[in-house]
Amino acid sequence: MTYTPREMLAKLVSLNTESQRSNLELIGFVRDYLAGLGVESVTVPSADGEKANLFATIGPKADGGVVLSGHTDVVPVAGQNWSSDPWTLREADGRLYGRGTCDMKGFDALALALVPEMLAAPLRRPVHIALSYDEEVGCFGARFLVKAMAEAGLKPSAVIVGEPSMMQVVTGHKGGTRMRTTVRGHAVHSSRVDIGVPAVMIAGELIAWNAALMEENRARQAADNPFEPPYTTAHVGVVQGGTAVNITAEHCAFSHEFRVIPGERDADYVERYRAKIAQLEARMQAIAPDTGITLEITSFTPPLAPEREGAAEALARRLTGDNGSHVVAYGTEGGLFQGQGWSTVVCGPGDIAQAHQPDEFITVAQLDAGAGFVRGVIAELAR
């Protein structure tokens, strides 16, 4: 069975792959669809078997070629006010509505729907389709996907990560380290706070340290840095702790992140943060030895750095005609592919402003532009 890009998008949207859920139904559909076209695929399951990556090669088993990379998970719809069923594709006023239409099942749909055209073309170099899980929560699946592709002997000349960029060629993005800090305090009546260790207040000092770090980076930003904002950021998004206003809190935890510009190292920021933790722990344990602070790194996504004379950039610019300089603050799986030594850019249909929003949409014009781009990749590989 074959699908138009719009039909394929409707099918993918109908399969609920919120990050907290399994994506195996979608992966099973893709596997069977490709098999029906005579294309073998490889699945790379998660450790618990609840999710899986998939990759497939169309064309000759040769070096070179292009990877079309997309993630299969989408963010939750809970708490959002949708005008229609988020799992049913709806067209209105030149827009295609549904969860994931923009981020990023639109690109996935194009890569899959155009497989028959890939098979019909006299490809001299292969197209590799790569679909991952859990991009939205830390690019977890792509780590195993890239490793499996490399172990299978794939040596692409270019990787296109089809995140929504309005078909602009994005050559760089920030890296991201997500963390959870847990403070174990010592509870006493707040009237004797001098002999207690208030976990909430200690956490507050660490949160203030993150804020001061960001201000320090803002003050020394380079005038020619193209990122928005043009410096490494530190952000605390969730805080939980305390039981009553008259008790020094025994527990406080918060989730936070660094988004690091290329040229700086996440590890350096983590090291500085650990030094601050050690300083506070010494003070805490002088009062109550059983107190302490635990830092957990929950995910790390490497940055995508602009490449000098990169093959992926050259290809994407030829196909789009875009000669502008574009970098983004959000993270993608691109840094993982680049870390394998494969030239990588981000270029895909849709506007990132629609990602994660209620009534998420991609315009028909952008989906058509993306289809033209993938057809251009096919033509390039047939030369």
Q: How far is CA 201 from CA 105, 207, 290, in A?
A: 43, 10, 17
Which member of 18, 73, 266, 313 is catalytic? 73
Helix, strand, or coil (residue 190) = helix
Catalytic status, residue 151: no
Structure tokens at 205: 């000092």
Report cis status (omega within 30 of 0) of the bond before 104. Answer: yes
Burial of 299 (0-12, 13-18, 19+ CB in 10 A): middle
Q: Which amino acid is at 359?
A: D
Which member of 108, 134, 135, 313 is catalytic? 135
Spatial distance between the Cα atoms of 165 and 69, rounded to a whole number of angstroms: 14
326-328 β-sheet, strand order:
41-45, 52-58, 127-132, 66-71, 158-161, 344-346, 170-173, 326-328
Structure tokens at 282: 């010494």
User: Residue 280's CB: how many other CB atoms inside 10 A?
Assistant: 19
Size of the chain, expressed as the number of residues it contains: 383
DSSP string, 62-85: -S--EEEEEE--B---TT---SS-
Q: 253 - beta bridge partners? A: 182, 240
Contact 202, 185 (CB under 8 A): yes
Burial of 232 (0-12, 13-18, 19+ CB in 10 A): buried
Residue appearing with tokens 């993918």: 12
Output the CA torsion sign for 310, 125, 11, 48. negative
Catalytic status, residue 266: no
Output the CA torsion sign for 111, 116, 117, 123. positive
Please identify every residue annotated as catalytic. Answer: 73, 135
